[in-house]
Every structure is written in C-alpha cells, then in structure tokens.
Chain A
Amino acid sequence: MLINILETAFNLIVTLNSDLFEIINLSLKVTLSALIISVIFSIPFGAFLVFYKNKTQGLIVLISNTLMGMPPVVLGLLIYTLVSKKGIFGFLDILYTPTAMILAQTLLITPIVISLTYEEIYKKNKEYALLLSSLNLTKFSKLKTLIYESRYALITVALTGFGRASAEVGAVMIVGGNINHFTRVMTTAIAFETSKGSIELAVALGLILLLISFIITILIKSLRKIS
C-alpha cells in the first residue's frame, strides 16, 4: 500500500500536477513574504539591541526569547480575534486571506529572527568591539560593520525563520481558513487531505516539504562552514 501511495505521490510531482503546484506556489509566496518583512525589521533591530544596554533592552530580549517558543495556534487565535469582523482590526477585512497568513507567519518568526540576530551580533561585537572603538566609529557604522561581518550567520538565521514558517500549520489554518485555490498552503493541505483520506496528495506535499527542509539544512551547513 505504501509503495502505491509513494508511486502516486511521485507521479503528481513529476507530472507537475496543477493543484499540487498551486499549493506549493502559494506556500512559498506566503512564507517568503513573511520572511522578507520579518528580516527587514528584525535583523537591524536585533543588532541595534546589542548597543543599547539598559533595562528595556534586557526586557525586549527576554520577551523575544519567550515568544520564540510560542505555539502557532495561540498566535493564530490572537490574530483571529484581532482581524475578525468584531476585532479591532476587523475593518481591514483580511481574515481568510493570504495577507492574514503572511501576518501570522511574520509575527511567528520575528521573535526568532530578533533573538538569533541578537546572539550573533553580540558574539561578533565581543570579537570586534575594541577594534571598532579604536577606529572611533559611530554606533551606526559599527552596526553596519557587525551586520556585514555576520552576514553568513544572519543568512542562517533567516533560513531558520523560513524553516519555522514553512512548517507551521496552526496559525495559517486559523487565519487563512484553508480555502481551496485561495489560502490552501502545503501544511494545511496535508492536514486536510489526510483527514479526508486523500493520502497521495498529502504525501506528495510532505515530500516537497521534506525536500525544502533538506535544502535549508544543506544551505545552513554550508554557510556555517563559510562563516
């Protein structure tokens, strides 16, 4: 039976099944959008935290570390209450749209990217602080240098965020609604197709997810080697 399922799943992939690739396409669009939005904000912010040592900074790092482990369903529920018709952002009318899914994934990975960026930049700053101070650089200039020197590690951080977002199911299911041809992504489709017994499509999507995870792992390993 397993061989039959795998055979059908492979067939769906190699014949470029339109339903399958529509789901993959939307998944990548949502996750990459969330990643880009998160990275643009979180990397400079995480790096900035290294230079401003006060109680607020400590608190932000603590909150960020705590939110790293936030269950996606809880985050999904929170966004749902905010963007549903009766929520304070209900007027935006984004519930059950890819926009809400991007918002959910952005908020899910932002604490991860902030915390890991902070750790990487903190380490680099320890290594280079004396040199950068000796060169009499401004804080902004130091920040730019540290981000550049940590570039490979920061790409790894971004890939970690991508991995977390692409594997997430709870939040996108709640705020996206898993609507066919509109908000159905790989993880929600796997859950849905399995529940209705259409295991072949679920396995095909699972294989694609595994492949993405494999590529990310290889990239992270290579970048760690370079850095």
Chain B
Amino acid sequence: MNILPLKITNLNYSVDQNCILKNLNLVTQEEKITIIAGNNGSGKSTLLKILHGLIKTSDNNVMWGKYSTNFIKKYQSMVFQNPILLNRSIYENLIYVAKKRNIKEIRYVDKIIDKLNIKDISNTNTKYISGGERQKVAIAMSIIGHPKIIFLDEPTSQLDPVYKNEIESIISDLSRNGVKIFMTSHDISQIKRIGKEIIFLNEGEIIFHNTVSQFLSTNHIDLIKNYINYG
C-alpha cells in the first residue's frame, strides 16, 4: 500500500470567518520525517489535524497516493501536544488501544512496553506519571497496530533535555522502520537533528517547502531568518 505522494490541493480552512489555512498546495514524496514549522498561530496544528482527518475537509483536498484521508485514517495515529490518556494504568491504556485496533495478542503490548522502556511504571495510573512519561505512553499508544503514518504535535515542547533526547531517538527509530512521520516543532536544533523535509507556514500559507538542509542554508526573508536564529 503506497501512501505517498501526499497531495494537498487548494486546501482552505476557516473558523468563524477567520482564515486558518489559505489555499495550500503541496506534493511530497518524502518518506522520512517531515517537520511542519512556523510561528504560533500559523496553522501547524490545524494542518496536522486535517491530515489526520480530525478536521473534515473535502476528500479531494488531501490525497495519500490514490487514497483519501478518510480511507487512510485507520493506518494513522497521532500524539497530541498535551497527551490524552485514559484514567487507567499505563498497561490498561495500551490494552485499550490494542483492542480498538483489533490486536488480540496480549504479548504485543508487552513488547511495546519493553520497546519504550516503560515496564517499571506500566501498572501506574496515568494520573501519577510525569510529563515525559506521559509523552512516552502517548507514543507507545500511537505505535500500536503498526500505523503507516504518525503525526506528532510538538511532542517534546514541555520536556527536559534527557526526555527530549529519548523521544527523538524513538521517533527516529520509527522513521527508520518505515513509519512516515509528520511532526510540528519550534526547536531548530531538533529540526536539524531529526528532520528531513520542512514545510514552513506563516499565517496559514506555505512560505517554504524543501529539505531541512536547504532550509538552513537558503537566504530567507527576515521572518524565517529570525525563526532560525532564535529557534
């Protein structure tokens, strides 16, 4: 099943007459990590939610290979900026997602727990774990069922450097294993470390789309220059 290229055609999105995304057009074949960057309010999270099908638009606006977002949704998962976890133990959260994804093998969840190194806390209720642990559990939930695409909305924005490094290496691992990653980030050093392609948004418009190395070496307009210098 080929989910690339991703084609976005004439994508507009407004809320109460506020234009969030303006006539986005994009084609990408990039299999590795695509970063969606831009200042606050530029439409990054909205774009991610549209790509994941959480915000409905016309089916023809976004196509994954020959498939619509609606069709591809079962092969996708998303990690939110503030991880949303059920009020149960970590193990029960993972079992819940496994059941919903029709995975019958209980050992599968154990393997994910080992992979994400969360065995010590697997019986702890999600109310009592730290921000970094919550993010790891959210990623563990997102990889259940072997999704082809994972969306991550600023997954490390609230984490200390140790957790940030751990989460980055999990994301890179997933990418190496063939999972297409779309991730929003403000962190230029992180973008340099793990990003392959970048889509830069400003006020709902794509103002740059190329490789990360091009992004860092091109002579940009002041807006992006400042973003790179202060990011």
Contact = CB atoms under 8 A, between A and B. Distances in A.
Interface of A: 127-128, 130-131, 133-137, 141, 145, 149
Contacts of A127: 84
Given A135-B97, A141-B100, A130 B80 contact: yes
A134 B86 contact: no
A141 B97 CA distance: 12
A134 B77 contact: yes
Contacts of A131: 80, 84-86
B164 interface: no
B87 A134 contact: no
A149 B97 contact: no
Contacts of B96: 145
Given A133-B54, A134-B52, A134-B54, A128 B77 contact: no
B84 A136 contact: no
Contact of A128 (B52, B86, B100): B86
B146 interface: no
Interface in B122-136: none
B188 to A, nearest CB: 27
B73 interface: yes
B74 interface: yes
Contacts, number: 28
B78 interface: yes
Interface in B36-92: 52, 54, 73-74, 77-78, 80, 84-87
A128 to B, nearest CB: 6
A135 B87 contact: no
B84 to A, nearest CB: 4
A130 B84 contact: yes
A133 B78 CA distance: 10
Contacts of A137: 100
A135 B80 CA distance: 13
A18 to B, nearest CB: 47
Given A130-B54, A141-B100, A149-B87, A136 B80 contact: no
A22 B130 CA distance: 55
A133 B49 CA distance: 11
A127 B85 CA distance: 9
Contacts of B78: 130, 134
A226 B129 CA distance: 17
User: Nearest 6 A-B pairs (CB), nearest first?
Assistant: A131-B84, A134-B78, A136-B73, A135-B100, A136-B74, A133-B54
Nearest to B54: A133
A133 B80 CA distance: 12
Nearest to B83: A131
A44 to B, nearest CB: 20
A149 B84 contact: no
Interface in B13-51: none
Contacts of B74: 136
Q: Which of B73, B74, B87 has the most CB of A within 10 A?
A: B87
A149 B86 contact: yes
Given A134-B78, A145-B96, 9 more contacts: A128-B84, A130-B80, A131-B80, A133-B54, A135-B97, A136-B74, A141-B100, A149-B86, A149-B87
A130 B138 CA distance: 13
A130 B54 CA distance: 7
Interface in B109-167: none
A133 B100 CA distance: 12
Contacts of B87: 149
Nearest to A150: B87
A208 B96 CA distance: 43
A130 B87 CA distance: 15
B113 to A, nearest CB: 19
B139 to A, nearest CB: 13
A125 to B, nearest CB: 12
